[in-house]
Amino acid sequence: MKATSLREHTDEELEQLLKDAVKELFDLRIKKGKGDSSEQPLRIRVLRRDLARIKTVLQERTEEKGIARDSKG
């Protein structure tokens, strides 16, 4: 998932993507702890990076809103 494609989503969609990715990552880590690790190392790495991208886009939007408020007042 690229950051440019994430920027096309709304905040609500990003929050939902974030929740889904966190849950999937949690489930994969539980499976890894039980010893079931077929393709999981790659998926875990991809999920961690996707989470970081989603959080980055959300943070950028929060900062933009803060700057916009500061410039108005």
Distance CA 31, CA 16 (A): 23
Out of 1-15, 21-35, 58-72, pick the least confident. Answer: 58-72
pLDDT at 59 over 80: yes
Quick one: pLDDT band at residue 72, thresholds 50, 70, 90?
low
Using a CB cutoff of 8 Å and minimum separation of 24, what contacts does 14-20 make?
14/54, 14/57, 14/58, 15/58, 17/50, 17/54, 18/51, 18/54, 18/55, 18/58
Question: Which pTM was predicted?
Answer: 0.81
Quick one: pLDDT band at residue 67, thresholds 50, 70, 90?
confident
- Supply the pLDDT for residue 73: 55
Give the residue-averaged pLDDT of 5-24: 94
The upper half-sphere exposure of residue 30, i.e. CA atoms within 13 Å in the direction of its Cβ, equals 6
Distance CA 16, CA 30 (A): 21
Domains of the chain: 3-72 (1.10.287.310)
